[in-house]
Amino acid sequence: MIHIVFQQADIDVLKKAFELDETMAGDIVEIKDDYAVGPIQNIYETEGYQQRREWWKGLLDYSPYNSDGLMEMVDDRMAVHQLKRSLDEDEKLEVWIWMGQNQHDVCGYYWLISQLKEYSGRIYVLYLNNLPFINDKGSIFYPTTLHQILPKEFLKAKKLCRKVTSSEFEIDPDEWKKLMEENAAIRILEGGKKIASKQEDFYDTDILTNLTKEAQRGAKAMHNILGKMKIKTGDVFLLLRMKALMEEGKVEIIGEPSKGWKEFEVKLKSTAGETLEVPETSS
């Protein structure tokens, strides 16, 4: 079988689970792009695909990450091409798609499932949606990502495995088509597999609430923001929003983010006698 995951950290924990249950063993394929942010209109067409790559390149060029290296690593179209070839070559091959309860995984699922309808009956899904697991302290918790789960708990998780139904192969691509047409900057998970489109300033409140008037190193500021966010997104996208807030005169960035997380500082910007207003999140 082939296992599909949507986050790098999920790979290691899944491999450890294989050591406990060899019946689960198989190749692991990661869908690497974060389809919960950025343009997705006509994403299966060359023009839409290139537009998205250019958008990511702009973000990465402003960030501490190497855009050329990362852009070369992320080629989900090739991953799907190879997946289909494997399914064509072995009619007994099954695909297990693993999803945590977060928009990153669910949007990745929507992007993927729209391309696998011809393999109906061989595609399975394991969605860990609002389910309790035991953590390393023996307490019950509700994970939002796969890598939060202990390897031994995957033996329980595998019981959730079920075939993607014929109706899902009809409904889910339609839901993704709707999201592509909306082409919002941000997509969030509202429950189940319900994804809602949001405006580009959706995370601005998280940024402004967790920054201070005292300058902080980029790494520390990002750690604080991500640690307190209820709905997570990636650090590169948050840095894009910091840049936008700087252009709006609400945030000050000192240094060059492209040189490293420790090579710049960020703080709230306010003038004497003025109080910085934190905007309400756009819907």
My answer on whether 17 and 68 are in the same domain is yes
> Looking at residue 273, what is its pLDDT?
47
Instruction: Give the model confidence (pLDDT) of 206-228 as tens digits.
Output: 999 999 999 999 999 999 999 99
My answer on whether 39 and 156 are in the same domain is yes
* Assigned token pair, 102: 């977060």
My answer on whether 241 and 151 are in the same domain is no
Residues contacting residue 157 through CB under 8 Å, at least 6 positions apart: 126, 128, 133, 149
Instruction: Indicate whether 199 belongs to any domain.
Output: no
Domain ends where: 145, 179, 213? 179
- Assign residue 91 a region (left: φ > 0; alpha: ψ between -120 and 50; beta: otherwise): alpha
- Percent of the chain whose pLDDT exceeds 70: 93
Question: To the nearest 10°, the Cα dihedral for 249, 236, 222, 4?
Answer: 150
My answer on whether 141 and 219 are in the same domain is no
My answer on whether 164 and 114 are in the same domain is yes
pTM for the whole structure: 0.91
My answer on whether 125 and 248 are in the same domain is no
My answer on whether 169 and 258 are in the same domain is no
Instruction: Give the model confidence (pLDDT) of 236-283 as tens digits.
Output: 999 999 999 999 999 999 999 999 999 999 999 876 445 555 556 555
Q: How many domains does the chain have?
A: 2
Instruction: Indicate whether 31 belongs to any domain.
Output: yes
Instruction: Give the model confidence (pLDDT) of 150-162 as tens digits.
Output: 999 888 888 889 9
> Looking at residue 130, what is its pLDDT?
84
> Looking at residue 68, what is its pLDDT?
63
Three-class HEC string of 93-154: CCEEEEECCCHHHHHHHHHHHCCCHHHCCCEEEEECCCCCEECCCCCEECCCCHHHCCHHHH
> Looking at residue 75, what is its pLDDT?
87
My answer on whether 229 and 125 are in the same domain is no
Average pLDDT over the chain reads: 92
> Looking at residue 70, what is its pLDDT?
63
Instruction: Indicate whether 283 belongs to any domain.
Output: no
Containing structural domain, residue 236: 204-268
Instruction: Give the model confidence (pLDDT) of 160-203 as tens digits.
Output: 899 999 999 999 999 999 999 999 999 999 989 999 999 999 99
Q: What CATH number is associated with residue 96?
A: 3.40.1360.10
* Confidence class for position 67, pLDDT limits 50, 70, 90: low
Instruction: Indicate whether 90 belongs to any domain.
Output: yes
Distance from C-alpha of 187 to C-alpha of 199, rounded to nearest angstrom? 9
